[in-house]
Structure 1
Amino acid sequence: MGEWITLTEYHDTRLIVASLVIAIVGAYAALDLNQKLARSTSTTWPILLLASFTLGMSVWSMHFVGMAAFSLPISISYNWWIVGISVIPVVFGGFIAFYTLYFTKKKVWQIVTAGVLMGLGITAMHYSGMQGINFPGTIHHNIFPFVISIVIAVTSSFIVLYFLKHHQHTPNRWLLLIAAVMIGLSVSSVHYTGMAGAEFLLPVEYFRTLSNEPITSHGILGTVIAVVIITSLSVLLLATQSERHMLKHMAFHDSLTHLHNRRWLDQYFENFINKCKSSNKIPLFLLIDIDRYKWLNETFGFELGDEILLELADRLKKQVDGHGAVIRYDGNQFLMMKGIDSSQQLESVATPIMKAIKSPVKINNNKLALTATIGSTTASNNKGFIEISRELELALKAGKKAGRDRFVPFDESLHSNTREQLLYEELKNALSTKKEFTLVYQPKVELNHFLIDQAEVLMRWNHPTIGNISPSEFIPVAERSGLIQELTAWLLEAACIQLKEWKKENFFIQKIAINLSASHFQYEGANTMIRNILNRVNVDPHELKLEFEVTETSIIENIQRSIYMLEELKEMGITIALDDFGTGLSSLTYLKNLPIDTLKIDQSFISGLPGTEKDEAILETIIQLAKRLGMNVVAEGIQTVGQHSLLKKMGCHYGQGYFYSEPVRASELNKMKILSSIQLP
């Protein structure tokens, strides 16, 4: 080595700090883009590519700003072809990492593999980028720092991916920032560990060309700044366009099957009818319900249930032509729309559909035989979709009662539901005046200190001639007929006005909970309606403590969109309670991802208390799990002192039920009366 000179290396501390900031900011932008993958559907690929490119460019920019901070006592330049190509490995590594997070089952071996490839991508970018340095000498890399830099890159990449695996649905921006800082520090550590192990050697014959001071290369810094600015503007523009497209697609497509959903139907219905009319076709609607789907989910697991829905969605799409469509109607139901030449074709249309469904589904080397019940009707006599959906559900209900696995065309003489039609007409009339509705409140009792400061608000309908109509009867009618939003709007406004009055009076009820309909998450602009009401009534949910209760079954149809909408509500200051916990099909599966503040245990867990050791162990496990997740726990349906005492012993926060108080009007709420009526040992 006597014929070589080891050059002194210089570093500008300000640019080192700047390179670290660039890495963190770029990583944050890439992670923010990828959070959108958790709520998007068909737009995932554009966002995935954009986020991978953003991460790659941020790492690349950090590297070459770091190189701009570096100088030698001799002039250096760069081979821009090599410099440009060096970004490819880290973009590829980022793509593999993000693909693993959002398109795989995220098993440990997959996370490890992605971490290795991402780490190798970062180190490949660093060392290939250094090959772009031009000066009269050569670069020698010491083996130990070289290996250490690879270990740092791979290990830190795995840690970041494992962290993101458990927090990819979280709305907390601080957690996102933590991950970005972790990436920034790891990339910077790789760069400066690699630089520390690099020796810049110059032949002795160039000794006289050396300067006594470091020679700074401003060209690389200017180029990097230009690339960063152009890239940032491009990413911002593309992200904005992608976000708009994503939100539009989310609103009108099902996240699992990528079929259109019921919101899309609201806009497409008239178009479909007009297309059929222009081609002399009769609009035919078929409501397809997969038989025994709940049993399939509970027996074989929810992942297999999802695979069945995906397979059937593909089969049903093949049964429609240019005059039709298939939508994910509800849970395990699909709605098919076709144009037919004659009503005599009904059987010929249904037969191939039934045959396609009955073809065995191959899942994990198993063959499952499926059946479906189908209700159908046609859009004759200018019927609107509300009437069509009513007829479809009545025909489907008749098919289920008759034994399933059959095709049932709607017949007015056989399937008409005069009671439901009557309620629908009366509900429309009642909503025009809203004088027939009243609100009642059922208190929630804090079990440890026996405080009463919360209540659930419920709606009652007292019809002038029919009498009291149960919510279990008129709420489903409102949901099926599209009147539920107007009903919810009235309830929310009336409840908020009452809560404001209680606040002024320093009333003992400080927080109210309102039930959100299952169809809330299907309506475009549903959260906007809530925001407008709060603004109109001048209510700040942070101050007045407003909570919405949602059921698990209402949000699992489109879990990503539901999470997005729940996060919007939480940003308004509204807390979220998961109602009827334990009655859904996948409680534990989604519990960790939902932005839930309160868990309401369904009364089916309470009614049998005190029960067997197994029953009580299950209930206590649920309570402790919710508490460990930072949630409040409410047990509903408490009717006896034994149930009250046992739940208090288990650590349940709140109790609700007739043991404390039945639902009463606001004027009848009396704290002392409630406390005095409770008989405790």
Structure 2
Amino acid sequence: MNGHYDPGLVLLSYLVAILASYSALHFGSQLSSSSRAKGRFWLALGALTMGTGIWTMHFVGMRAHITPVAMTYDLGITVLSWLAAVLASAIALFIISLQHVRVLHVVISSLVMGGGISTMHYAGMAAINLTPAPSYDLLLLVLSIVIAVAASAAAMVICRALKGATGRNAMKLQGGASLVMGAAICGMHYTGMMAVRFPADAMPHPGNQLSGGWLGLPLALTISAFIALAVISAIADMRLRNLEQTRAIEQEEKLKQMAFFDTVTGLPNRAAFDKEVFDLIIRCEGGKASFGLEFLSIANFRSIEKHLGETSLQSLARGLKQLVGDDIFIARYASGGFMFLLNQQQLSARGALIKRLQQLPKTLANGAVDIQWRAGSSRFPTDASSSRMLVKKAMQTTDMSDYVQMRTSPDADIFIPQTEATSA
């Protein structure tokens, strides 16, 4: 029983394979990022769309094979072939959605998926229930199974590679991969068709309940619409999840801003500074490196606080940041106090920093408020080796006007009060 192929239906079978491949890649790449309850739903829907799509491609491909005798199919075996495709898809998607997927997992899922596709194909061929029965070319039969497993392996690898991909980039990658996978699935089908040898006088069983005509274009259109709807729903869900994640990140940033930044000046607060000092001590463990703390405070802050508005404090913080520079970590450590953190390289320029700080304004609010500045410093590990003692040492403030630079000291750029320098 010889036959030929309808090019239009062959192309349609390829388009169905592409759609099935796209659904497989999309669901496979997104499953692991869903919650457990929603993940089960998407797993079931993904297996249904993927398995049904591949199954539909098979029967459209069968309809594309024009024979002298109209093909009909046994209902029970046809349903079993569909179940094989859906179950194999479910197992493969479940394995590939695991958080930690090893090479063995990919191999197992590829064998399961490839075996399921092959089972679906040859069960679908058996559903024709021909008399006398067709025979198969063993080499081509094995080759078709190898193609099915290889296509499944490619799908599993691509799913993992696309995990977490979003936006247009993900759609482009999935679309390109779907073209390749669709070709592989069709390659398996038509290689399997080449393997079959129909007897010249073969006839379908008269008791077959399904018409080959119904399993062609009508089935393709119906299932394609279903798959497209499922994928669109999944994409909408993915976008909603991405929006929720974005909002969660924004909320986390707001909480972080509240926890580690001063609400008035916008500078890091005491918690942020203490954390920075603690981390730096760990990095300088063993005393192999040093760093310094500088404390700058408004000594009369309590008496002038009621005269200072938020605008004046914000202006002061901006000016202080400009004097210090972006490279030095500065924090509002107390209501009227600021801490600076100087790493080992910045310590060598400490003298220039002190000179810049001495340029700070002595009045605020258009000259209506006088400011009395005081400063102090400490160095790790010379003065202390714990963050608490370093801060305590730095907060032992002195009038800034009394500071002079002692260049003769072994520790360059150490500042001490003028009275001590004179006595020395």
Report the counterpart of residue 10 of structure 2 in structure 1.
16
The Cα shift of 1:16 comes to 1.0
Report the counterpart of residue 198 of structure 2 in structure 1.
200
Match runs of 1:514-593 below 5 Å: none
1:235 aligns with 2:230: yes
Q: 1:429/1:17 Cα in 2 relative to 1: closer, same or farther (>3 Å)?
A: same
In the alignment, the residues of structure 2 paired with residue 21 and residue 427 of structure 1 have an alpha-carbon distance, to the nearest angstrom, of: 68
Q: 1:429/1:84 Cα in 2 relative to 1: closer, same or farther (>3 Å)?
A: farther
The Cα shift of 1:202 comes to 7.2
Q: 1:263/1:195 Cα in 2 relative to 1: closer, same or farther (>3 Å)?
A: same
Pick from 241, 259, 263: which aligns with 2:251? 263
User: Is this contact kept in 2: 1:462–1:469, CA < 8 A?
Assistant: no
1:471 aligns with 2:321: no
Q: What SS does the aligned partner of 2:198 have?
A: strand
In the alignment, the residues of structure 2 paired with residue 66 and residue 476 of structure 1 have an alpha-carbon distance, to the nearest angstrom, of: 71
User: Is this contact kept in 2: 1:31–1:51, CA < 8 A?
Assistant: no
Pick from 27, 30, 34: which aligns with 2:24? 30
Pick from 149, 157, 162: which aligns with 1:154? 149
Name the % identity: 22
Q: 1:400/1:198 Cα in 2 relative to 1: closer, same or farther (>3 Å)?
A: closer
Q: 1:402/1:191 Cα in 2 relative to 1: closer, same or farther (>3 Å)?
A: closer
Partner AA of 2:196 in structure 1: A
In the alignment, the residues of structure 2 paired with residue 197 and residue 83 of structure 1 have an alpha-carbon distance, to the nearest angstrom, of: 20
Report the counterpart of residue 335 of structure 2 in structure 1.
none
Pairs aligned (count) = 300
The Cα shift of 1:425 comes to 5.1
Q: What SS does the aligned partner of 2:323 have?
A: strand
Unaligned runs of 5+ in 1: 1-6, 210-215, 254-260, 270-328, 336-383, 404-416, 431-435, 437-460, 478-681
Q: 1:65/1:428 Cα in 2 relative to 1: closer, same or farther (>3 Å)?
A: farther
Unaligned runs of 5+ in 2: 283-295, 333-424
User: Is this contact kept in 1: 2:106–2:153, CA < 8 A?
Assistant: yes
Report the counterpart of residue 50 of structure 2 in structure 1.
55
TM-score normalised according to structure 2 size? 0.55
Match runs of 1:196-595 below 5 Å: 196-201=194-199, 217-251=212-246, 263=251, 429=314, 462-463=318-319, 468-471=323-326
Report the counterpart of residue 191 of structure 1 in structure 2.
189
In the alignment, the residues of structure 1 paired with residue 10 and residue 24 of structure 2 have an alpha-carbon distance, to the nearest angstrom, of: 21
In the alignment, the residues of structure 1 paired with residue 281 and residue 184 of structure 2 have an alpha-carbon distance, to the nearest angstrom, of: 64
TM-score normalised according to structure 1 size? 0.36
1:74 aligns with 2:72: no
Can you list the C-alpha shifts for 1:300-333, whole angstroms capped at 9, x where unaligned?
xxxxxxxxxxxxxxxxxxxxxxxxxxxxx89xxx
Q: What's the Cα RMSD here?
A: 4.8
Indicate the structure whose relative CO is greater, using CA pairs within 8 Å and at least 6 residues apart.
Answer: 2
In the alignment, the residues of structure 2 paired with residue 181 and residue 129 of structure 1 have an alpha-carbon distance, to the nearest angstrom, of: 24
Match runs of 1:106-185 below 5 Å: 106-134=101-129, 137-162=132-157, 165-166=160-161, 168=163, 171=169, 175-185=173-183
User: Is this contact kept in 1: 2:23–2:231, CA < 8 A?
Assistant: no
In the alignment, the residues of structure 2 paired with residue 134 and residue 96 of structure 1 have an alpha-carbon distance, to the nearest angstrom, of: 29
The Cα shift of 1:93 comes to 3.3
Q: 1:468/1:44 Cα in 2 relative to 1: closer, same or farther (>3 Å)?
A: farther
Partner AA of 1:188 in structure 2: C
In the alignment, the residues of structure 2 paired with residue 154 and residue 473 of structure 1 have an alpha-carbon distance, to the nearest angstrom, of: 59
User: Is this contact kept in 1: 2:27–2:42, CA < 8 A?
Assistant: yes
Q: 1:182/1:233 Cα in 2 relative to 1: closer, same or farther (>3 Å)?
A: closer
Give the number of the structure whose alpha-carbon radius of gyration is greater.
2
